[in-house]
Structure 1
Amino acid sequence: MSAQANPDSKYEILAQTPEQRHKYLLTRLQETQEIWTLVDNDGAMILTTDEEDCIPIWPDADFAKDWINGDWSHCQPHKITLSDWQHKWLPGLEEDEIQIVSFPVPGEDGLVSAPWEMAEELA
């Protein structure tokens, strides 16, 4: 989905279940060879859910920008290539015991998975 995409499409995607959004994210990751997270001067932003630290990821910058407010108003979208995600980020997240929350939307949960689970899905 690009910045020129139909706004109705964005809302339809946001209305999907966490599992559907996760599948959409994986499909877009394969198509565009990139995903997005939010960063500030200290690095990637981390969400804490149910005692777990999670890095949120989105299929494009537009969806990530929806989170730039409140405590995260100082953040900016950060593009990660598929290669970097697979070879650098996933092993690092696994080592640091940080989970992944796929395509969260404000006010609703995203699908939480372990880095090794996403690595298997991308293999």
Structure 2
Amino acid sequence: MNNKEIEVVSKRPASKRYDYFIKKVADFEEVWGLFDEGWAILEDHNGNHLMPFWPKKEFANLCAVDEWKNYKAEPIELGDFMQEWLPSMKEDGIKPSIFWNSNDLAVLEIDTLILDLEEELKKY
């Protein structure tokens, strides 16, 4: 990925970054999270737990700052993400936050994310 692409995509609105996420994750069959001694978790203004995910390592690394400065981008295989991670997160009451860019993010229900990924994967 070149720096220009990273900059342009990162500045898109959350809904456009979500669309990009779905397409790239389906293309490369992996999702990226930040990991140190555990996976990075956000808390929204209501105290809900959110786990951030990105479509590419480069985007995840951009968010490895401040309290996450020691975190490293780690891949998660898409099949594991859809079949194990998301159902487990749903049980634990953790919502996925998609493509945080230090400003905003797309937060959605796990069932919606799974359906969107399944629909995109049908195209392959």
Q: Which residue of 100, 104, 110 maps to 2:105? A: 110
Query: Is residue 2:23 matched to residue 1:50?
Result: no
Quote how far apart the aligned CAs of 1:6 are: 2.5
**Aligned mates of 2:98, 2:7 — CA distance in 1:** 17
Query: Is residue 2:64 matched to residue 1:68?
Result: yes
Runs of 5+ in structure 1 lacking a partner? none
1:4-59 per-position Cα deviation (integer Å, ceiling 9, x unaligned) = x2311111101100000000000001100001000111x21100013211000001
Kindly report structure 1 stretches of 4+ aligned residues shifted beyond 2 Å.
none
Query: Once the two structures are aligned, what percentage of the paired residues are identical?
Result: 25
1:80 is paired with a residue whose SS is strand
Which runs of structure 2 are paired with 1:74-89 in the superposition (5 Å)? 74-89=70-85
**Aligned mates of 1:23, 1:50 — CA distance in 2:** 25
Show the counterpart of 2:21. Answer: 25
Quote how far apart the aligned CAs of 1:78 are: 1.2
Q: Which has the higher helix share?
A: 2
Task: Give the structure-2-normalised TM-score.
Answer: 0.90
- Whichever residue aligns with residue 116 of structure 1, its letter is D
**Aligned mates of 2:105, 2:40 — CA distance in 1:** 15
**Aligned mates of 1:57, 1:84 — CA distance in 2:** 14
1:104 is paired with a residue whose SS is coil
**Aligned mates of 1:78, 1:49 — CA distance in 2:** 23
- Whichever residue aligns with residue 111 of structure 1, its letter is A
**Aligned mates of 1:6, 1:40 — CA distance in 2:** 26
Asked whether the equivalents of residues 98 and 114 of structure 1 are also in contact (C-alpha less than 8 Å), the reply is no
Quote how far apart the aligned CAs of 1:83 are: 0.3
Q: CA RMSD in A?
A: 1.0
Task: Count how many residue pairs are aligned between Structure 1 and Structure 2.
Answer: 117
**Aligned mates of 1:73, 1:15 — CA distance in 2:** 21
Runs of 5+ in structure 2 lacking a partner? 119-124
Select between 30-39 and 108-117 the one with higher mean Cα deviation: 108-117
